[in-house]
Copies of this chain bind each other. A is one copy, B any other.
């Protein structure tokens, strides 16, 4: 499962559109809150569904990756994530590779008063990344014999590739705000995704992060995932090879994760939910960007608290009923209710468009029963 050529970018071609104005047409795009899963005609015992995920030669029992956020993933978190059956992605451009002992920096961020936090974040990320620390961090996780991914900004991805593969990383994620098959600049050499893939034997996912408010850019996640899934199918048809779609962003509860798979994803990447675990590196806080842009910040420190252990969040038992704990249990229950034996079947499950109820703050509590008297 290694792909050497970039995916044909046909994902965003016009589908059904409506008129925005006489100069412009647009598609309607959908987010998690706007859709719901439809129960199947046949249901399956949740304990018997297969929710595992294959990434390259790696088989993960849990199809969930921990996002490369400094408030989430450090060595200890990555080991726990791997032990539970998933995989964490370590940020190679973050605090873990800039400081030999990042603990005190993390604590400083957690304790800084609100009015100093942006300045502090910009300061602490000015320390240089030390290549030696990259190797040490990967090795530390691998010592526990669990899988681990790493994440790099495009600019340094090629240079770091051999190093991370040698250190034992199972996956390299290339992550940036401007990541496409082709990026144009006169001022610096561009990353060749194609060359990078050819030089490595481990999987290389790419990710692009955008923010709707600041830039106005952003396709809601259900439509975005579905579009990329369609591109995967096109590519499979053309090349005979199947790439994996990992969707990341906006999932806040187990139901959202289930919807991501039903939209076409092969795996999901979760960040802020994990930031709220007692295992997270950030001590109950997270901040949006791997490397804050000093001129155009698009994410600042957010307090998420520490609501449970990573084990509780992933595998339960849930101590709350708001969907933020036992994510895997929820996913498997949803698969069972929808009659999906595995994630491939679950990608085919039916969705309906059903806007979230915004009344009285009970967004997630529309219990429903339909009975048939005989």
Contact = CB atoms under 8 A, between A and B. Distances in A.
Contact of A178 (B216, B294, B336, B365): B336
Contacts of A216: 32, 36-37, 253-259, 262, 330, 334
Most chain B beta carbons < 10 A, residue from A295, A321, A374: A374
A249 B368 contact: yes
A346 to B, nearest CB: 11
A84 interface: no
A338 interface: yes
Contacts of A240: none
Interface stretch (A12-20, A136-144, A277-285): A12-20
A133 interface: no
A40 B267 CA distance: 24
Nearest to A9: B41
B35 A26 contact: yes
A28 interface: yes
Contacts of A368: 209-210, 212, 218-221, 224, 248-250
A211 interface: yes
A254 to B, nearest CB: 6
B217 A337 contact: yes
* This protein's copies in its complex: 4
A353 B42 contact: no
A45 interface: yes
Contact of A354 (B29, B37, B230, B365): B29
Interface string A165-190: 00000010101011111111111100
A328 to B, nearest CB: 10
Interface in A188-208: 188, 197, 203-208
Contacts of A229: 21-24
Interface stretch (A72-80, A93-101, A303-311, A312-320): A312-320
Contacts of A208: 39, 369-371
A113 interface: no
B299 A42 contact: no
A363 interface: yes
A26 B338 contact: no
A20 B351 contact: yes
B318 A248 contact: no
Nearest to A207: B371
Contact of A45 (B28, B187, B294): B187
B23 A253 contact: no
Contact of A352 (B27, B213, B232): B27
Given A214-B364, A215-B330, A222 B45 contact: no
Nearest to A40: B180
A230 B22 contact: yes
Contact of A337 (B43, B175, B178): B178
Interface string A334-356: 10111100000001001111111
A135 B288 CA distance: 50
A37 B12 CA distance: 11
22 contacts: A21-B222, A21-B263, A31-B354, A36-B212, A44-B183, A44-B184, A45-B187, A177-B333, A197-B374, A203-B374, A213-B322, A214-B254, A215-B330, A216-B259, A219-B368, A220-B354, A224-B370, A247-B370, A247-B371, A295-B326, A356-B359, A359-B363
Given A177-B333, A248-B369, 14 more contacts: A3-B374, A12-B350, A20-B351, A23-B230, A55-B373, A175-B371, A215-B334, A216-B253, A250-B368, A266-B373, A295-B326, A295-B329, A296-B318, A359-B363
